[in-house]
Copies of this chain bind each other. A is one copy, B any other.
Amino acid sequence: MSSSTLLLVLDLVGIAVFALSGGLVGVEKKLDIFGVLAIAATSALGGGIIRDVLLGLAPPATFTDARYLFVPLVCGVFVFYVHPAVARLHKPLIVLDAAGLGLFAVAGAKKALDAGLNAPASVGIGMLTAIGGGVLRDLLVSEIPTVLHREIYATAAVAGAIVVVVGDSLDLNSTAIVVVGAIVTFAIRVISKWRGWSAPRPA
């Protein structure tokens, strides 16, 4: 498998996982089948769309490759009909979601650097790419986004994006820094979830 094929597969895996977890939220909220598909697609594609709109890359990549639309719709239909089975996959889904988080964070930061953004802005875009879909998902079901008040999630995405931005400024091999960045995000997310860590709250 070539490097770009690998990246595409990883990207679609991230999209699929975000679509499955988004679809489950839609099922919990008793949405109808259109609602479940819409939440699945928004969760999976929202971060990338926000990234591309902010970078001025229109239309967003999501709308130029039909696979990006079909994967979340298939996942949404799957969740709609077999949601108890998907919900039982709770732990594997968290691990896969952490992988998606890492992939989206580093891909977003890399794309921002390539578009000429400065270092802090590229970290911001990487983070928004990773958490954007989940934030839109929570807004659509009228809840305060989970990422704002629970667990270590956005912080893990920020860490991976920082790896990419710092590695880039040191002229390190770009494949290496993307891989290391994704692993850093993944590890922080999985370990913090496993140990029950959460970010500090106001006194």
* Residues of A in contact with B (beta carbons under 8 Å apart): 26-27, 29-36, 38-39, 49, 53-56, 58-60, 62-66, 69-70, 80-81, 83, 112, 115, 117-121, 124-125, 135, 139-145, 147-150, 154-155, 198-203
Q: Considering the chains assembled together, what is the distance between the CA atoms of A80 and B185 in angstroms?
A: 24
Q: Considering the chains assembled together, what is the distance between the CA atoms of A58 and B60 in angstroms?
A: 13
Q: Considering the chains assembled together, what is the distance between the CA atoms of A26 and B139 in angstroms?
A: 16
Chain B nearest CB, measured from A37 CB (Å): 9
B69:A59 contact, CB within 8 angstroms? no
Q: Please name 23 pairs of A and B residues whose Cβ atoms are closer than 8 Å in the assembled complex, sorted by A.
A: A27-B202, A29-B144, A30-B201, A32-B148, A32-B199, A33-B202, A34-B148, A34-B199, A35-B149, A36-B202, A38-B148, A54-B60, A55-B58, A55-B59, A63-B117, A63-B118, A63-B121, A63-B124, A66-B121, A69-B120, A69-B124, A135-B140, A142-B143
B148:A35 contact, CB within 8 angstroms? yes
Integer count of this chain's copies in the complex: 3
A155:B34 contact, CB within 8 angstroms? yes
Q: Considering the chains assembled together, what is the distance between the CA atoms of A154 and B26 in angstroms?
A: 16
A118:B66 contact, CB within 8 angstroms? yes
Q: Most chain-B Cβ atoms within 10 A of its Cβ — which of A63, A70, A125, A142? A: A63
Nearest B residue to A152, CB-CB: B34
Chain B nearest CB, measured from A2 CB (Å): 23
A30:B64 contact, CB within 8 angstroms? no
A198:B32 contact, CB within 8 angstroms? yes
Chain B nearest CB, measured from A80 CB (Å): 6
